[in-house]
Structure 1
Amino acid sequence: MPTLSKVLRELAQTCAPDLSAREAVRQLQTTGADLLLVEQNGTVLGVFGHREAVAVYADGSAPVRQYMRHPVPGRNAADSMEAGAEVMVREDTPVVILTEEEGPLFSKTSRSVGMVTAFEILEEIGHTTTDTAANKIFFGRKDLGLNIPVSPCQRACPIHQDIATYVDYVSQGRYLDSWLVIHETNPFPSILGRLCNHPCETDCKRGWVQGPENAVSIKSLKRFATDYAWARKVKIEYQRAPENGKRVAIVGSGPAGLTAAQDLRLMGYTVDLYEREAKLGGLLSASVPHFRFEMDQLLWEIQMIIDTGVNVHLNVNVGKDLPLQKLLDDYDSAFLSVGMMKGRILPVPGSDLPEVISAMEFLRVRSYDIVPDDFPKGDDVVVIGGGAVATDAAQTSIKTGAKNVWMCSIEPQDRLPAFGNELVEAREIGLKLHTGVIVNAIKADAQGHVNGVEFIRVDAGKLEFDPESGKLLINTVQKVPGTEHVIPCKYAIFASGQIMDFEDQLTPLSPRKLIAADTSGKTTVPKLFAGGDCVQGPSFIVDAVAWGHRVARSINETLGAAVPRDAKPLTIIETTDDHREADYYGREEPPILPAAKRMDMTPVELPWNDEQAITAALRCFQCDTVHHVDESVCILCGACDDVCPEKALDVIVEGEERDTSSGGFVKICETVLGEEFGGKRGRIMVNYDRCTNCRICEDHCPVNCITFQRVRMPDDTMRMIPLTAVSAPPPQVGAARG
């Protein structure tokens, strides 16, 4: 990576901290500068740029010091480009002051020699980067310029998938290209195409415009592209960096562990993966019931990871069979990604009866196609809990042969934490709900076997929920005396939370009894990293994948052994199509099997056909595409600004009073008009948080100088090969771990 001195530029113009903010905005407009350095007595206090100017439009009466970002960090001009990028992200600044040391060895001083902005850094990285995942994250800051706005969905995605691109490729019928784009940062699209909590759809601009229920069906389009690739029997072969001689042990083969294993192998590390179960996948294969996804597709994706050269050790329980200290002695780093695979059973009377089981253990045993001991086929089951795991356990009980299944929760029915669609599906096959109650005891017959669960009602009027997470505040639960009642059953399943099932004296623990680690996975124990649910608590699959990427990068930064792959840095510029006709289409969900056909473990969600997928993809606004303006043709007439229905454009011309209320923060054109137009200087700014890529500006440009383009820096280290090259499925057996 080049040093910061390569993109050094002169210090920007300055302004005083007490200057009127409106005057600072005018100074930016008249000079065409990207930003102003706020300086007092020769010291740079902060920076005032276009992002700050947006706030001034609302209230510009205060001085610059109220709006400026500060402090402005400094770096040595000899530092790497990555170091500059890292400090910009950490300090939330678009500029870094560069210094050079001078003077004798023991009395060196530093002097400012210039500055570097995010634009220059990103432009340089765009020509040299081979780390696609890190690049995507770097893109996620809209003030990093280069006319590459990150779509809101990509900003919201924990693994920063290039969503708009893979959705657009589906709309063009380029299904395999779409699948390859997905795999740049997502090793498990078959799972996340079905089970992701899809925060991307929550932040979809189509949903902003038409309501959240009309967001683009991003998750389902991911599943469609993956189904297509699976049907074509292809796989991805990765180009690995040369072996670097460093060894990393990963404990746990869930989504975090497998993701980190793949990333580290591609960097040239030797990776040994330790799994206590008899199969790989962690919660994906041992906790998620098989009617929710295609197991063969998951095995296909795991095999692609193993084929990078990961060494697999099954049925090894680190912490019991193998001390953690042994791994730290034998390896350069160890990564704990053990998840929260143990279910919590509440300590109520009777909870130790033989027919009482945690939902996590019940689902684990069923994942091996084994029916747990004492399961009452043809009799009644009570599931205690109201979340997604409870719903999975309840549906699995029905599909295993239970007669009546009750799901009982503290929350009222309209506040159940379970996903709404899963709850509807469960009720369609016979699930019964009993809400507003808390378990009091497990009842037994004279022989000591479960014959019912006693509940007591809670005061619904006293229940409170966290305004952000929506979770029940347990300290607001109050029992109503005299409302005890029993639901008869022969089997009780507790879905009342999960705990970490890992024991080793070396492991540092947090007050929540989770592994104590920072957001990069570093612990206080040298060489030991941790990430995923065992650090942050129960979360979503996509969050675990994000942890895997982060920890792999953190390990590499710590060991510093990765050798660059022989990749071909590549920037692709694509002209994109107009999708305005998609306004006529509504959101459509994938169909599911009829209830009568959902009584076994067959996957319930049915695939889309081509027409459904293309129609869904056409609804995307393509928020990752940008205006490309031919500055040699543009006459700054303002037609684009006048016709923009979202008021996302500002055309700013010297000496002319024009509306500049869009808050545009990306400059798409800067030009000087010819003498026939007065020789004026001007520029066009766009606010991509408002722009919906409707292309009306393109239609109404009188000189045809506007087109829409996508800029991509693809991962050139992946190639598609026939699936027949796979030698064997991932190691697993058909019996439960002893």
Structure 2
Amino acid sequence: MSVPSSEVKPLTFRRYKDGDTKVRRWQDEIFDADHSHKCPTYIQSTPPCQGSCPSGEDIRSYLNIVRGVEKPPKDVTWQEYAWRRLTEANPLPSVMGRVCPAPCESGCNRNQVEDFVGINSVEHFLGEWAIEHGLKFVAPEHKTGKTVAVIGGGPAGLSTAYQLALKGHAVTIFDERAELGGMMRYGIPGFRTPRDVLDAEIQRILDLGVQARMNTRIGTDITLEQIQQQFDAVFLGMGAQSGRPLPVEGADAPNVVTATAFLKAFNDGRLQHVGQRVVVVGGGDTSIDVATVARRLGHIDQTHEADRPELAIAGDTGYAAHDAAMLSRRQGAEVTLTSVFAVEKMQASKHEVEHALGEGITIRGSMVPLAVVVGADGRATGLKVAQCEAKLVGGRLEIKPVEGTEEVIEADLIVSAIGQAVDFSGLEALNNGKGAINADKNYQVAGQTGMFCGGDVIRPHLLTTAIGHGAIAAEGIHRFLQGEALDKRPKIDVHSFDLMRKLVEKGLPVGSIEEPLRGTDTSTGAVHNFDNRSDRYVIPHKDLFLGHFNYTERNKRKVVSLSAEEALSNFEERMLPLLEAQAQAEAKRCMSCGLCFECDNCVVYCPQTAVFKVKKSQSTTGRYVDTDYNKCIGCHICHDVCPTGYIQMGLGE
């Protein structure tokens, strides 16, 4: 969360904060006075933003492109070059730039200075720019002749199809819905993911030659065995689109519904209003979506038996009635959201919670549902709750109600947003008994060669997690189709900056490495004194020279905040992208953790003039400076003043 500038204490430290008296061993600093066996090495590491990104985006790279450090090839704009680097991992940046809760920003080392870099907002900007300028993915010229069936057209399935199509495989997506998108279309409301944006990003994937068979459910319309006979490999990405009912007495009342059913009915256009009093049980982003939709729909002043919201949610006769009901005057609904966790500890994104409160939604934390109160007609009239203490014990959630605090919250509609489940109808053999599918690190289904999975069928999580699963599974499928062994996945499984690719772009020679010769300055197969440790090391803030970075306020997107009255019937998008200058300014706040951003500190401060700039004709991102070891005495000053931790003291003579 942003810190007001008036409360920020200016940074006055270099390597250590004021008052830090920790002394390092002098033997580790200066060795034999005039020479040392430790000299500068250039170590590429994974920044914590990228290590925290479930889809493994090369965040640092596209921010460096936006800020102008990494230059695009000739005749390519920086916007397109950054977008292409971003979409190597995530083909849906405009959608994710809006709805991803951005765990990357929580991990950002800039939080140690003043505030995180607005990574999500730069992603949003690039996604919008690409749509406005009609950018397309480039299909490969070579086709492999292999076929892959992707079951489920949500983020996991779309990500897998995209990556496989880029590798030259023929992909067909099967989905039981009328349109692709999964929970991005049928779960998240349109004022968070505009449908024209979602359609544009999905169409790019289809333009690669990906086929889609809609309204086709596996296990009902076609069996999994038939799919396996027709295709060389299969990916299962069905998603968790079945909601979990409340585990309390009375939860089978007709006006007690799940969040997934509620949101699908709204996104399908069936649900046009809710009751006067709505209670949502949850605490995550989905529960916030339900509450804000209910606040916008409101209730109508003239209701009839056929106007009940549960009928529209169930897909019964209520659809026509709701359509006619729009002629009545819409009024606000009283929306209450309850969570077993305290409000400040709920899983929902903090800014979404703030918007919900601003829109007049009541959020009551530390409340556990005890029972649904049912009236004489069998419909719910309220939810009995009690204050509670909730904590995780050994990975299990323990909830202890506080005696004597019971009360009833009156309700015309109760929505359960306590979790989602995969519907295994027709695919029961794949269920591991816990509502998921067992898979290895390559996401190959246990005991099923050539069958892979990803997304919620492994564990319900974020949309960006499903995208990451899809990319890893696609790589496994590709290796399987090529007849190659499925290798052990790296410890840090992300898309990394490729220095060798930059050398190729520059037209510099790149040869092969012949063991045991490695790292020599005469070989074109390796870059002298450079090592890429991105697959195994995330660089922490303590390895940076934080004193280099001044306080710089974050460039924030404009987010439309609504009052309770303004929210009613308002289905316009709330979040607007950054302007181009703002996106560039925000990217400049990136500290480029673990990779050089060409600040010249090491060259300026080296007392021996041992560190020097590489000739312009031979330099590129990550290869901006080098070391003359005949001059270097191992004094470590370059390491101390390196803002990004790219320079480490390594062994060498």
TM-score, length of structure 2 as denominator length:
0.70
**Superposition pairs for residues 168-247 of structure 1, below 5 Å?**
168-172=64-68, 174-208=78-112, 210-211=113-114, 214-232=115-133, 234-247=134-147
Q: Deviation per CA, 1:141-183, whole angstroms, max 9, x where unpaired?
A: xxxx875444443343333323233223333593333222222
1:464 maps to 2:385:
no
**Superposition pairs for residues 652-663 of structure 1, below 5 Å?**
none
Alignment counterpart, residue 450 of structure 1, candidates 377, 380, 386: 380
1:393 maps to 2:315:
no
Q: Deviation per CA, 1:270-295, whole angstroms, max 9, x where unpaired?
A: 11100111110111111111111222
- Could you tell me how far apart the structure 1 residues matched to 2:645 and 2:411 are? 59
Q: Do the aligned residues in 2 keep the contact of 1:636 with 1:682 (CA within 8 Å)? A: no
Q: Deviation per CA, 1:610-632, whole angstroms, max 9, x where unpaired?
A: 343232222122346428899xx
- Could you tell me how far apart the structure 2 residues matched to 1:589 and 1:351 are? 42
Alignment counterpart, residue 595 of structure 1, candidates 554, 559, 562: 562
**Superposition pairs for residues 329-344 of structure 1, below 5 Å?**
329-344=229-244
The residue aligned with 2:368 is 438
Secondary structure of the structure 2 residue equivalent to 1:237: coil
Secondary structure of the structure 1 residue equivalent to 2:227: helix
Q: Deviation per CA, 1:635-672, whole angstroms, max 9, x where unpaired?
A: 9635799xxxxxxxxxxxxxxxxxxxxxxxx9964435
Report the residue type matching 1:616 in the other structure: E
Report the residue type matching 2:268 in the other structure: Y
Alignment counterpart, residue 518 of structure 1, candidates 437, 440, 444: 440
The residue aligned with 1:260 is 160
Q: Do the aligned residues in 1 keep the contact of 2:424 with 2:431 (CA within 8 Å)? A: no
Alignment counterpart, residue 589 of structure 2, candidates 619, 630, 633: 619
Q: Deviation per CA, 1:579-607, whole angstroms, max 9, x where unpaired?
A: 99983531243121131444322111122
The residue aligned with 1:381 is 278
Secondary structure of the structure 2 residue equivalent to 1:235: coil
Q: 1:636 to 1:315 in 2, by over 3 A?
A: same
Q: 1:207 to 1:248 in 2, by over 3 A?
A: same
**Superposition pairs for residues 355-366 of structure 1, below 5 Å?**
355-366=255-266
**Superposition pairs for residues 149-160 of structure 1, below 5 Å?**
149-160=45-56
**Superposition pairs for residues 634-653 of structure 1, below 5 Å?**
637-638=607-608
Q: Deviation per CA, 1:434-487, whole angstroms, max 9, x where unpaired?
A: 2222112222222222221111332x3xx32469xxx8x522x12233433211
Q: Do the aligned residues in 2 keep the contact of 1:171 with 1:618 (CA within 8 Å)? A: yes
Q: 1:239 to 1:484 in 2, by over 3 A?
A: same
The residue aligned with 1:691 is 642
- Could you tell me how far apart the structure 2 residues matched to 1:198 and 1:446 are? 47
Report the residue type matching 1:167 in the other structure: L
Q: From the CA coordinates, give the structure whose radius of gyration is larger.
A: 1
TM-score, length of structure 1 as denominator length:
0.62
1:494 maps to 2:443:
no
Q: Do the aligned residues in 2 keep the contact of 1:627 with 1:668 (CA within 8 Å)? A: no
Q: Deviation per CA, 1:181-232, whole angstroms, max 9, x where unpaired?
A: 2222210101221222323223323223x14xx0111110111122223233
1:671 maps to 2:593:
no
- Could you tell me how far apart the structure 2 residues matched to 1:30 and 1:638 are? 12
- Could you tell me how far apart the structure 2 residues matched to 1:634 and 1:611 are? 30
Residue 258 of structure 1 and its aligned partner are, at CA, apart by 0.6
Report the residue type matching 1:474 in the other structure: L
Alignment counterpart, residue 420 of structure 1, candidates 323, 338, 350: 350
- Could you tell me how far apart the structure 2 residues matched to 1:412 and 1:487 are? 18
- Could you tell me how far apart the structure 2 residues matched to 1:685 and 1:308 are? 51
- Could you tell me how far apart the structure 2 residues matched to 1:689 and 1:150 are? 19
The residue aligned with 1:652 is none
Q: 1:414 to 1:626 in 2, by over 3 A?
A: closer
1:530 maps to 2:457:
no
- Could you tell me how far apart the structure 2 residues matched to 1:441 and 1:506 are? 31
Q: Do the aligned residues in 2 keep the contact of 1:669 with 1:683 (CA within 8 Å)? A: no
Would you say how many aligned residue pairs link Structure 1 and Structure 2?
A: 507
Q: 1:255 to 1:534 in 2, by over 3 A?
A: same
- Could you tell me how far apart the structure 2 residues matched to 1:687 and 1:405 are? 58
Secondary structure of the structure 2 residue equivalent to 1:273: strand
- Cα RMSD, aligned residues only: 3.7
Q: 1:598 to 1:175 in 2, by over 3 A?
A: farther
Report the residue type matching 2:457 in the other structure: C
Q: Do the aligned residues in 1 keep the contact of 2:262 with 2:290 (CA within 8 Å)? A: yes
Q: Deviation per CA, 1:295-344, whole angstroms, max 9, x where unpaired?
A: 21111111010011111011111122221111112211111011211110
Identity %: 27
**Superposition pairs for residues 32-43 of structure 1, below 5 Å?**
none
Secondary structure of the structure 1 residue equivalent to 2:121: helix
Q: Do the aligned residues in 2 keep the contact of 1:358 with 1:493 (CA within 8 Å)? A: yes
Unaligned runs of 5+ in 2: 1-26, 69-76, 300-332, 485-499, 508-545, 612-622, 648-653
- Could you tell me how far apart the structure 2 residues matched to 1:684 and 1:522 are? 50
Q: 1:509 to 1:159 in 2, by over 3 A?
A: same
- Could you tell me how far apart the structure 2 residues matched to 1:687 and 1:249 are? 53
Q: Do the aligned residues in 1 keep the contact of 2:608 with 2:632 (CA within 8 Å)? A: no
Report the residue type matching 2:292 in the other structure: Q
Deviates more, 1:171-180 or 1:446-455: 171-180
Residue 512 of structure 1 and its aligned partner are, at CA, apart by 2.5
- Could you tell me how far apart the structure 1 residues matched to 2:598 and 2:289 are? 49
Residue 31 of structure 1 and its aligned partner are, at CA, apart by 8.5
Q: 1:176 to 1:684 in 2, by over 3 A?
A: farther
Q: 1:408 to 1:452 in 2, by over 3 A?
A: same
